[in-house]
Homo-oligomer: A and B are copies of this chain.
Amino acid sequence: MTRDRVRDLRRRIYLILEQGGVGDGASRLVDRLLMAVIVVNLVAVALESVPEYSERYGVVFGLIEDVSLVIFTVEYVLRLWAAPEHLPYHRLGATRARVRYALSAAGLVDLIAVLPFWFAFLVPSELRVLQVFRMVRFFKIARYSPAMRSLLDVLYRERRALIGCVVITLGTAVVAAAAMHLAEARVQPDKLGTIPQALWWAIVTLGTIGYGDVVPITVAGKIIATVTIFLGLIMMALPVGIIATAFADEIHRRNFIVTWGMIARVPLFTELDAGEIADIMELLRAEVVETGDIIVRAGDPAHSMYFIAAGEVEVVVRKEHLRLGVGQFFGEVAVLRRSRRSATATALTRTNLLVLDAQDLHALMERDPRVAARIKDVVEKRVGHEIIGAKGDLVTEEIKRHEGNIEPAKK
C-alpha cells in the first residue's frame, strides 16, 4: 500500500468516526451501531446485577461484554491513529496530535471505557468497581449527538462558575451543619450528634431533596432549617442563572445580527446604495461556525451560498486547497446551476458567515434587475473560468484577483 492510500484510508476512517456527515451513509451506520452497542452494554450491566438474571443469562452477559470490549478497543485504536486528521491538530505532528487526543476529555472517556477491563483480564479484581467504569461508557454517546454535545459544551464552558456554585453551597452547608449540630446534637445524638452527620442533613436540605431521614424536631432546629431552606432556594438559582445566561449567550452568538458594516465589506455589494443593501440584509441569514466545522461537503445538494464576514475558510476541491478570507464568497455556482456541491469547505477559524438561501438568491435577482445583472456578471466570469480551470463551485485564485481589483482580469 502506498503512503497516499494509507493517508486516504486514515482520512476516510476519521470522517466515518468523527463527522456525523449528512450525506455519508457509512458514517451514519457506524454511529448508530456504536450507539446501539453502548445501550445494549448498559442494559446488560444493569440486568447482570440482578442475581436471578445473572445466574440464568450469565453467558449472554459475558459475551456482550467481550464483544463490546473488542469493539470499543478497536474504535479507540482507530481514533488514536486517525487523530492527525482532526483539523485543529493539523499543524501538529502525527504523534503530538495523538497525544492531544489521548489527553482530551473525549479521549479519556474512550480510554476509561476499555482500559480497566484489560487490566481485569490480567489482575483478577472486584467485579463491582468495574461496573462503574462500564457505566462511564454511557458518556461516549454524547459524541454521536450534536444536541447532547452542545449541552455538555455549555456545562464545560461554565465549569468555573458552576464549581463556584458548588463551593458556595458546600460552604453554606458547612455553616448550616455546625448550627444544626449546635441546636440538636443533644436531642438527636444518633442523627445530628456530629458535624459530618449534620452535614448530610444540610446537603439534603440545600439540594431541596428532603429524604426525611434526618428532620429537626426542636424549635431552634426548625428555625435553622427554615433559613437553610431559603438559602437553598437562592443557591439553586445560581446554576440555573448561569446556564440560562450561557444558553442565551450561545444563541445570541449564533444568531448574530447582520449589520450594514458586514455587507459593506463584501466586494460584491459595495456598489449598492442604501436601499439595495436594506434589501439584501432582509435576505441574508447569519451563521457562526466553529474551527474545524464542515460548511459544505462535496456531493451534498446545494441550498445556499455563503459570504465570509469574518474568519477564514479552507476549500478542498479535487485535492487542491484554497483559503478564502473576509469579503469572499463561495457555493454560488452549484446554487445557480442547481447541481450538487463539487467541493468541501471547512472553517479554519471561528467564522461568521452570511448565508443566502437559493430561493432568496433567485428572488433577489428577479426583484431587482440591477443586483441580478451584477451577480450574473460575476457568476458568468466565474463559470467561464471554471470551464477553463478548476471546475468547482468555488472562488478560485482567478476570482480572488477579480474581487481585489474592480476590473476583472482579462482572459
Contacts and interface: CB of A to CB of B under 8 A. Distances in A.
Given A46-B199, A237-B239, A240-B237, A161 B151 contact: yes
Contacts of A134: 178
Interface residue range, chain A: 35 or more
State the copy count for this chain.
Answer: 4
A152 B167 CA distance: 12
Contacts of A211: 210-212, 215
Interface string A46-86: 11111100000000000000000000000000000000000
A174 interface: yes
A131 B203 contact: no
Given A138-B174, A212-B213, A195 B244 contact: no
Interface in A192-243: 193-196, 199-200, 203-205, 207-213, 215, 219, 222, 225-226, 229-230, 232-234, 236-243
Given A155-B234, A240-B240, A244-B245, 20 more contacts: A46-B177, A47-B195, A131-B195, A138-B174, A138-B175, A148-B164, A150-B164, A162-B234, A169-B230, A203-B226, A204-B225, A208-B208, A211-B215, A212-B213, A237-B239, A240-B244, A241-B244, A244-B248, A261-B277, A265-B278
Nearest to A186: B128
Contacts of A148: 164, 167-168
B162 A141 contact: no
Contact of A200 (B164, B194, B222, B270): B222
A104 interface: no
Contact of A209 (B132, B205, B261, B279): B205
Given A166-B230, A178-B135, A47 B196 contact: yes
